[in-house]
Amino acid sequence: MTKSQEYLSTRASKEPYLSFEATVLRGLAPGGGLFIPAEIPKVEDVTAWAGKSFEELAFEIFSLYISRDEISADELKELIRHSYSTFRAETVTPLVKVDGLYVLELFHGPTYAFKDVALQFVGNLFEFFLNRRNAGKSGVRERLTVVGATSGDTGSAAIYGLRGKQDVSIFILHPLGKVSPVQELQMTTVTDSNVHNFAVKGNFDDCQDIVKTLFDDVEFNTKHHLGAVNSINWARILAQITYYFHSYFSLVKTAGPDVKVRYVVPTGNFGDILAGFYAKRMGLPIDKLIVATNSNDILDRFWKSGVYEKAPPGVAEHVDETLSPAMDILISSNFERLLWYLAREQLADSAEQAGEYIQKWMVELKMNGRVTVPEKVLSAGLLEFGSERVSDNETVSTISSIYDSADGYVLDPHSAVGVAASLRNLDSAHTYISLSTAHPAKFGDAVDMALKTKAEYSFDKVMPDEFKLLQTLPKNVTVIDKPDISLVKTAIEKELKEEGIVF
């Protein structure tokens, strides 16, 4: 087993490194930390992978982070094949040229969102590991209670990845009334007995805080064997690395090997762009990674100031409700992983000391609502990252202008945030790839706002038949009256009992 196949926490911990299986099934590290590989593997010659398909690239990348002792080559190939056979696009994540830049379409999975790329794989991983652990058992089987929070797309993608799977129950918390109607229907119309939806009267950060608290509750976690599907789970990040390699090689076919590529990523929880960071560190020649935020701009403010803060001085902590709701957050959970690498390289003499820095910074953030990193940490980060903030008005105007200039091409509002940020930065020296994270029909209000006056536009043409069918299906959802951990615990145990689970 290589170092890249062993995992440690971002926060100070005396625990030994974990295997890939233990990392995936535990999800969140003790004390609220996130798991990361002990070492990022370096690909000696990335050009050797240039002719490979998406599935073949996934196999090469995953093999660097998963020991053959844990998953054999044949088993891994079958997991990958099964995970991506559900996608509508032959190339899984096609690259499309749009108005002077490229759009990487990540929404061709079963729930029409980029989260499918990871969560189809994660769902199959859970099933694979549990089947192996339960093989030959005649008594009590090992089970997993998966708990996740969503601002929209994670929930449905996780549900579609785990619905009907043996020995897994899934609970998804979403903020009541703060996800799009289609996103809500995609979650709440799944009536498999192992799927449970909680609509919490609060915001996404409330939901995410509850999930983190559940994982930190040793007694509850041990009792119910909690598993994570949010991007706090390392397997989510791992699966997303593939489309950076795949899109780069697709670009090289048309632009040539000397192309200097910048990726622009509409970002809320920082998981999608963090996968690009891993790809870059593995050797993919990415010139820069650009964070694109909406008015919930904690990341943009950080890259411009070095202060990671929930709200600027004098402004009350709050979440703006925007046209791109999946990015409506206060804290970007995965940013902790990047801060660990920057601390390790710029400040610390060891991995443990880097964890101590992260522990200190995260405590300070929780206590004071802000933390300032040393200047050399910020400077090192800016060598690899940039950032932009895009308003709702710019989002709408971008959807409209791209529709006009690109022969009726329709962006969803999150993808429009990325494209708007890209268009600000276009120059002759670089080629921009902007990640398109969801199908536009998932956000009909924003799309209609931008395009309703267009002569050729009809939202009915944008809407897939699968979405139209959702409106006719029965719903299954439990409303949680306030973001209270005890209410959620009670609701989880009530529904597990109704599912026939003994604990």
Task: Decide: 178 and 203 in contact? Cβ < 8 Å.
Answer: yes
Nearest to 102 by CA among 240, 241, 248: 248
From 115, 165, 212, 310, active-site residue: 115
Residue 373 to residues 302, 311, 362, 370, 448: CA-CA distances in angstroms? 9, 16, 11, 10, 42
Tokens of 109: 């999975």
Nearest to 147 by CA among 128, 130, 132, 162: 162
Listing DSSP states for 388-432 in one string gives EE--HHHHHHHHHHHHHHTTT----HHHHHHHHHHHHH--TT-EE
Backbone φ and ψ for 386, nearest 5 degrees, come out as -135, 180
Name the CA dihedral angle for 12, 289, 157, 413, rounded to a multiple of 10 degrees: 130
Helices (H), 256-391: 271-282, 298-305, 335-346, 351-368, 375-382
The amino acid sitting at 430 is H
The amino acid sitting at 4 is S
Supply angle C-alpha 40, 45, 48, rounded to 5: 120
Q: How many CB atoms lie within 10 A of CB 44?
A: 7
For the chain, what percentages of helix, strand and coil (3-state, to nearest 5) are there? 50, 15, 35
Q: Report the alpha-carbon distance of residue 83 to residue 252 in Å, rounded.
A: 26
Based on the residue annotation, tell me whether 115 is a catalytic residue of this protein. yes
Q: How many CB atoms lie within 10 A of CB 256?
A: 8
So which residues are the catalytic ones?
115
